[in-house]
Each structure stands twice: as C-alpha cells, then as structure tokens.
C-alpha cells in the first residue's frame, strides 16, 4: 500500500489560527480505480482564501471538515495510472494539496508543461492567481485606457499580477500598497509608478500624495482601512473590484469600516465583489493575452518557497503576517 502524509483540520480557529488547529497524519491510500492516477506532489500552494474554509460557515466554497484532509492547489508527477488521459511521468495540476501523495480522479487533473514554465508558475501567475487578477481588472472593474489604478496587497501573488497586467491593459498609472520598505522597492522594480508602505503613517494622506488626480479603479485585496482610503480618493464613476479582505479574515469583532461608504452615492461608484469560480470562462482569453507576456519575461512574478510537507501550516500562517512576497508555495 502507498502511504501519504496529509494535513487535517484538527479544530476550528477563533481569531488567528495556530498550529493547534492542524494535525499531520500518515495514511494508507486505496488502490486506484479506473480513471484515477496516483500523483506525487512536487509543489503545494497555500492561499488566504483557505482561512475562510477553516470556519464552519456557508460560503462560495465548502468549509474544511474536522479531522478530514485539507485541500488546495498542487502540481505533481503521475507515479501510477489507471487513466487513458494520463501516463506515468506526466506532470499535472490538481486540487488535492496539503499532502505529499494523492489519488486524483482524471477529471480533476490538468496537464502542465514543466519545460515551458516551473511548477510553481502553474499555481500562480499562469494559474488561478493570474486569472484572478485578469478577471478582476477586465470583467469586474472593466479597466479603461488611461485609468489610474490602485491595488492593495500589491506585493502578494494577485496584487503584483494586477499591477503589471493593468499597465498592459492600458492603465496610465498604477499605485500599490505593501507593508515593508523592501516590498515597496520591489513594486517599483515591477513597474508600479508609485508604492506606499501603509505601516508608515496615514494611508489616506499617502494615497492622496501618490494619486493627486484621483483613482479610477481600485483592486481590493485587503478591505478595511484600505477600502475606506480608496473610496475617499475615487473619481466619479470609479470602479472597485472586491477580491479579498485579508485584513479582516482573523477578526473576532465585526469590522468598523469603511465608514465613508456614503461617498459612493455622490461619486456614482461601482463596488463589485467576485469569486473566480463564476468566471472560469475567461481562462482562454487570459491565456491568449497574458500568458505569452509571462513566458517572454515582460511580466515578472515572485515566489516565496518553504520546504517539506511539515512546513505547510507555518507557510500558511505567514500569509497573515506579511511573510511572503509574491506566491507562497511549499516544495515537497
């Protein structure tokens, strides 16, 4: 029998998760059935949205179950196959991460070309991360030529893609916020026209200085104070793509803001939330327009790597303390 090391949800967190909420188990995997493959995971991803799945609440994606394996994106190599679609040695992406070996239904696996790009790229800029950035800009906020764009969490995987995609899609100016001076400098290297360290003082004042002409499009990954500051600087008919609110994911009290939401009325703003699963039809368009720019090196991406299945919970928790620049992945 093949064994797998799997992280399970040991308990539901209150506030910020701790290591006590996770448990590593070694289990025997069942023999393959027709249409299944055995995948040795090479790279697993951890993402902020997983925090919501740790709560027992109804949402756009089912919560993790207590004492059951956690899941997430992974790229691995097929080691056994009872599938006509995949043979031993093929590289695939799938959603049974948080473990080192997985039994995957062929319908849930997608081939990837590791000669074209490294495994982590298919979990990030060439995968759902990049698609999220593209959908938020094009389908949700309907980016226009000449837009002034502001993105929060700009040094993260989605945010750094948003900033670079925005320029490719016609933005005249792109501003990003991050939490350290090092990340601010990295945003400038990635082509952001201005970058703010939100920990250094009054966010609204810094944003006003960075965008005296106002903002036309705000891509929100953070919520809270960032959303409030963006609303204050939005121009008439501005658009907000509400992708995430990481500043509030671990809150135990109801958030207080944004306190200036009434400004959206007079400014005729559009604030529109989205989850990527409703817009997967945009994938071919994204691959046609953005993927070639990534492969040419015109769009760059950062990866923060941790090592070993044992490191997964710590890597996940680092997302909430600013431990990552770009995509956070765990190499097996």
Query: The CATH number of the domain where 84 resides is what?
Result: 3.90.180.10
Does residue 199 share a domain with residue 87?
Answer: no
Let me know whether 87 and 188 are in one domain: no
Total-model pTM = 0.92
pLDDT of residue 75: 98
Q: Mean pLDDT across the stretch 207-219?
A: 97
Q: Are 102 and 77 in contact (CB under 8 A)?
A: no
What's the pLDDT tens digit per position in 14-27?
999 999 999 999 99
Percent residues over pLDDT 90 in the chain: 94
**Same domain assignment for residues 108 and 199:** no
Band (pLDDT 50/70/90 cuts) for residue 206 is: very high
* C-beta atoms surrounding 90 within 10 Å: 18
Q: Are 222 and 115 within one domain?
A: no
Length of the chain: 332
- The pLDDT value recorded for residue 58 is 86
Which domain CATH number covers 168?
Answer: 3.40.50.720
Domain co-membership, 211 together with 268: yes
Summary mean pLDDT of the chain? 95
The pLDDT tens digits for 10-57 are 999 999 999 999 999 999 999 999 999 999 999 999 999 999 999 998
Phi, psi of 270 (to 5 degrees): -115, 120
Query: Does residue 118 sit in the same domain as residue 133?
Result: no
Examine residue 185 and say whether the peptide bond preceding it is cis (omega within 30 degrees of 0): no
Instruction: Specify if 296 maps to a domain.
Output: no
Residues 157 and 269 reside in one and the same domain: yes
What are all long-range contacts of 171-174, with beta carbons under 8 Å and residues at least 24 apart? 171/143, 171/146, 171/147, 171/217, 172/145, 172/146, 172/147, 172/148, 173/148, 173/149, 173/211, 173/213, 174/149, 174/150
User: What pLDDT, in 10s, does the model give residues 101-123?
Assistant: 999 999 999 999 999 999 999 99
Separation in Å, CA 296 to CA 117, 124, 156, 166, 211: 11, 16, 21, 17, 31
Residue 73 placed within a domain? yes
Burial class (CB in 10 A: 0-12, 13-18, 19+), 133: buried
Query: Given its phi and psi angles, is residue 201 left (phi above 0), alpha (psi -120 to 50 degrees) or beta?
Result: left
Q: Does any domain span residue 286?
A: no
Task: Pull the structure tokens for residue 188.
Answer: 């400038």
Q: Is residue 203 part of a domain?
A: yes
pLDDT in tens, 302-312: 999 999 999 99
The answer to whether residue 307 is domain-embedded is: yes
Specify which residues 240 forms β-bridges with: 218, 271
In eight-state DSSP terms, residue 96 is B
Indicate if 198 and 256 belong to the same structural domain: yes
Please report whether residue 293 resides in a domain. Answer: no
Given this model, what pLDDT does residue 291 score?
A: 92
Question: What's the CA gap between 310 and 235, in Å, rounded?
Answer: 47
Cβ atoms of 184 and 199 within 8 Å: the answer is: no
- Specify if 235 maps to a domain: yes
Confidence of residue 278 (pLDDT cuts 50, 70, 90): very high
Q: Does residue 324 contact residue 117 with C-beta atoms inside 8 Å? A: no
Q: Read out DSSP for 205-229?
A: HHHHHH-TT-EEEEEESS-HHHHHH
Q: Are 153 and 113 part of one and the same domain?
A: no
What is the average pLDDT across 91-108?
97
* Structural domain range at position 274: 128-278
How confident is residue 201, by pLDDT bands cut at 50, 70 and 90?
confident
Mean pLDDT across 72-80: 98
Same-domain status, 112 and 136: no
Q: Give Cα 41 distance to the centre of its chain.
A: 20
110 and 159: one domain?
A: no
Q: How far apart are CA 48 and CA 54, in angstroms?
A: 11
One-character DSSP codes across 118-151? -HHHHHTTTTHHHHHHHHIIIIIS---TT-EEEE
Confidence of residue 60 (pLDDT cuts 50, 70, 90): confident
State how many domains the chain has. 2
Check residue 189 and give its pLDDT.
96
pLDDT of residue 8: 98
Give 141-180 pLDDT, tens digit per residue: 999 999 999 999 999 999 999 999 999 999 999 999 999 9
Q: What is the pLDDT of residue 283?
A: 96
> Are residues 7 and 100 both part of a single domain?
yes
pLDDT-based confidence at residue 94 (cuts at 50, 70, 90): very high
Asked whether the predicted pLDDT for residue 247 surpasses 80, the reply is no
List CB contacts of 305: < 8 A, sequence separation 6 or more.
Answer: 120, 329, 330, 331
């Amino acid at each position: 029998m093949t064994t797998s090391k799997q992280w399970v949800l040991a308990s539901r967190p209150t506030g910020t998760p701790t290591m006590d909420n996770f448990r590593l188990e070694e289990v025997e995997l069942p023999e393959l059935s027709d249409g299944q493959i055995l995948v040795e995971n090479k790279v697993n991803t951890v993402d902020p949205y997983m925090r919501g799945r740790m709560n027992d609440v109804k949402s756009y994606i089912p919560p993790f179950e207590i004492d059951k394996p956690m899941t997430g994106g992974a790229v691995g190599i097929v080691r056994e196959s009872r599938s006509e679609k995949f043979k031993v040695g093929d590289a695939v992406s799938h959603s049974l991460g948080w473990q080192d070996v997985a039994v995957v239904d062929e319908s849930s696996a997608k081939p990837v070309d590791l000669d074209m790009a490294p495994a982590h790229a298919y979990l990030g800029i060439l995968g759902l991360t990049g698609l999220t950035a593209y959908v938020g800009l094009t389908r949700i906020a309907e980016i226009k030529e000449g837009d002034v764009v502001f993105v929060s969490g700009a040094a993260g995987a989605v945010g750094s893609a948003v900033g670079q995609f925005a320029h490719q899609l016609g933005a005249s100016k792109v501003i990003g916020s991050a939490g350290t001076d090092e990340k601010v400098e990295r945003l400038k290297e990635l082509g952001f026209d201005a970058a703010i360290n939100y920990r250094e003082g009054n966010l609204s004042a810094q944003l006003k200085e960075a965008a005296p002409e106002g903002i036309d499009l705000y891509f929100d990954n953070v919520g809270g104070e960032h959303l409030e500051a963006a609303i204050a600087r939005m121009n008439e008919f501005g658009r907000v793509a509400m992708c995430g609110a990481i500043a509030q994911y671990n809150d135990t009290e109801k958030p207080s803001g944004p306190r200036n939401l009434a400004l959206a009325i007079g400014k005729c703003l559009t604030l529109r939330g989205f989850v990527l699963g409703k817009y997967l039809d945009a994938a071919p368009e994204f691959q046609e327009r953005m993927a070639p720019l990534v492969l040419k090196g015109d769009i760059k991406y950062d990866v923060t790597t941790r090592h070993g299945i044992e490191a997964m919970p710590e890597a996940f928790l680092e997302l909430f303390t600013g431990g990552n620049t770009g995509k956070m992945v765990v190499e097996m």
